[in-house]
Chain A
C-alpha cells in the first residue's frame, strides 16, 4: 500500500462510526520502490489529498521533518518539496502492518501490501 492510497481509506462503513478518518497506520514492514518523478503530476495531485493525513503519513514513516504541517499555498516552484512528496506518496510501499479505526479500534491488517478492509455482515 502506497501512502497515497492510505490517504483515501476510511472505516466509516462500520456501524456507529461517525468519521472513521484518518485511520491509524502501523507499519511492520515497508519497501521503497523508485518511480519516475513527475513534478506536475504531484503538484496536481496535492489538491485531491487530505493534507493532515499526508502529514500523518510522513510522521508514521519518520519523514515529518521533510513536510510542512500546514499545506503550503504554492508548491509549483518548490521542486525539492515536490520530490519529497513524490517519495512519500508514491515510492514508500507498506508491505505488512495494520490500519486501525480511530473510533472503534477495529483493526484492518495489511498483508503482502494489500489492506484487508472487508467488514463482516454484522459490523455494517
Chain B
C-alpha cells in the first residue's frame, strides 16, 4: 500500500469522525486555522478511555484547562491553555498516541468551541431519602464479613443471570418477589454484623439524617462478577420496612436510579453503606447496568471511566409482616393489589348504569366524529365476511357506522347497534339496520349464517353480561353458521410488536413520556377514585399499555366548531373491559352449542371464530 493511499484513507476516516461530531454536538471544525479547542475523534467514554490516561498522555505536550468526556460517546474534547499548547498536543498525538480502543492510534482535530454538555445525572440532587455513608466499615471488617458470609461455595444461579446469591434470616423468593415470614431460615444474620447497628445509630443521630431504622432480620448477599448487573427494581413494599441498607464490599459500582423520566447515577464506593429511605426506597427503582466499565464523575467534576472488579453487596432489610402504608402508590404492591380488587367487583346492578352512562351516552355524543375515524375495515374481518357463499344472512351486532355492512355485497347484510346516532350514519348509506342491545338481539333463533361482533363485548361491564352477549350470537346462528368476535386486548404489545393503537403515540420521547404520564395519572386516580360514579374506575392514558382490565378510555371530540356547546367539545370517557389472553376463549368454552374454530391476536385485539354445532337444534 502506498503511503499516499494510506494517508487518503486516514483523511477519509478523520472527516467521517468530524462530521459525526458536527452533527451530534452542533459545533464546527476549524478547518485551516488553529484553536484551543481540540477533539480526540476516536476515543471517549464508550471506548473505555479514562480521564487519568488522557491527562497523563496530554500533559507531556501541553496544558489543558478542561477535559470533557460525554456519556456513550467515542470522542472527547479538551480546552487547552493556549493555541500553542493545542498545536503542540495535536502535532504530538494525532496519528501517534495509542490511547484508543485496544490501543488504537487516535486522531485529533480543532473545533471552534466545546459542545454544550447535557445536564449530567451526576450534577442533579440525589433521590430524596438516599444517603451514602462512606467508609462505613474498615478494610479489616470487610475481610471478616466476607469470611463469615462464605460466598465462594455458593452455586451460581442461572435464573439470576449467574449472579451468586445467599440469604440469611429469611429467603427472598424471586418468583414472587417476597419473603415467607412463617419460614425463617436456620441461617441467621451473622453475628459479625451486630457491630454495624450501634454505628449506624450513632451516625444517624450525629449527622441528623432524616431516617428511622430497625435492626434488620433479613440479609441477601449478592456477588457480582465484572459485567454482571441487576435489572431495575424496587424492593417489594409489603415485604420490607423502610429503610433498605446495602453495604458494598470489594469494588465500587454505579447504581442507576429511575423515577419516570428522572434518572440518577450514584457511585457506591467500596466499603460504603447505602441507606434508601422514604422516596428513594419507595418511589425510585434501582439497578446495576451489566457492564465492565462504569462512567463515574471525578473529583474535578469530569466524567471518566472506571473498571469494575468483583463486588459483593450485603442488603440488610427488616420484614414488614403487614400491608404497606407508604404514600408512593405507583410502585406499591399493596396499593396496586387494592386497585385490582376494585376492578373485579363491578356489581351487576351498576353494570347497566355504567354502560348507559359510559358507553351508550358517549357513543351518541361522539357518533359523528367516531364515524369519521372508522372507515377502513380490518382485513381479517373482511376475509371472514368474504368466506360466506352468496345470499348468506349476515348480522353485524354492534355495527357502528356500518363499515362491515358492505364488505361482501353478495350477502344479505343486516346491522344492529345500540347507538341511534351511529344507526343514522348507516341509514344515510342505505344499510339495513335496527336498534337493540347486544344481550337481547331481536332476531329469531337459528336464522343467520354468520354474525360478527367487532369491538362490542368489551363494553359490557360484567362477565355475566359478556357471556350473555356471546350466548345471543350462538342462539341466532343456524347450525354450522360461524361467528367472529373481536375484543380489545389488555396486552397491546403481543409478540413484542406494538399494536397500531400504541404506535399512534406520536409524542417525541414516546416510551418515557407516556410512562411519566401514566405515573401522574395513577397518582391522580387514587386521589380521585372515591369521587367517581356510578362505579369508580381508573382513567386510561391513550396510546399506552393498559394497567387494569376495567378502565375508562377518554375520547376527545376534535374539530369542534364554534356552534358546538361546551359539553360537546369536551372529553368523553368510554368504559372498556380489556381482555386478558385466553379470556375470550374461555367464555366461548362456557357456551354449550358452539365450538371454537380459531383464535388469534389482530391489531391489538383478541379474536375468535366459532361455529354452531349441528346437533343443537
Interface positions of A (Cβ within 8 A of B): 1-2, 4-5, 8-13, 21, 33, 40-45, 48, 50, 108, 112-119, 121, 124
Contact = CB atoms under 8 A, between A and B. Distances in A.
Nearest to A5: B432
Contact of A48 (B410, B424, B440, B449): B449
A76 to B, nearest CB: 13
A13 B437 CA distance: 11
Contacts of B485: none
A119 B434 contact: no
A50 B448 CA distance: 12
Main secondary structure of the interface of B (DSSP, over half): mixed
B249 interface: no
A13 B423 CA distance: 21
Contacts of B437: 118-119
A8 B352 CA distance: 26
Nearest to B476: A8
B393 A8 contact: yes
Contacts of B435: 114-118
Contact of B427 (A21, A108, A114): A114
A72 to B, nearest CB: 17
A40 B390 contact: yes
Nearest to B433: A114
27 contacts: A5-B414, A8-B393, A9-B443, A10-B442, A11-B442, A13-B440, A13-B442, A41-B390, A44-B390, A45-B412, A48-B391, A48-B393, A48-B412, A48-B447, A50-B444, A108-B442, A112-B424, A113-B427, A114-B423, A114-B433, A115-B434, A115-B435, A116-B435, A117-B435, A118-B418, A119-B440, A121-B352
A41 B440 contact: no
B208 interface: no
Interface residues of B, number: 32
Given A4-B412, A8-B393, A41-B410, A118 B443 contact: no
Nearest to B418: A118
B468 to A, nearest CB: 10
A12 B443 CA distance: 8
Interface string B416-445: 101010011001001011111100111111
A21 B389 CA distance: 27
A1 B442 contact: no
A10 B416 CA distance: 14
A99 B391 CA distance: 25
Given A4-B432, A114-B434, A117-B436, 7 more contacts: A13-B441, A42-B391, A44-B391, A50-B444, A114-B420, A115-B434, A119-B436
Given A33-B430, A114-B433, A116-B434, A8 B440 contact: no
Contacts of A9: 434, 442-444
B390 A8 contact: no
Output the residue of A4, A12, A118 with the most chain B CB within 10 A: A118
Instruction: List 5 tightest A-B contacts by C-beta distance, closest first.
Output: A44-B391, A13-B440, A117-B442, A115-B434, A117-B436
B416 to A, nearest CB: 8
Contact of B391 (A1, A41, A50): A41
A9 B445 CA distance: 10
B434 A1 contact: yes
A119 B436 CA distance: 7
A117 B430 contact: no
A10 B410 contact: no
Nearest to B391: A44
A75 B314 CA distance: 88
A5 B410 contact: no
Interface string B33-44: 000000000000
B422 to A, nearest CB: 11
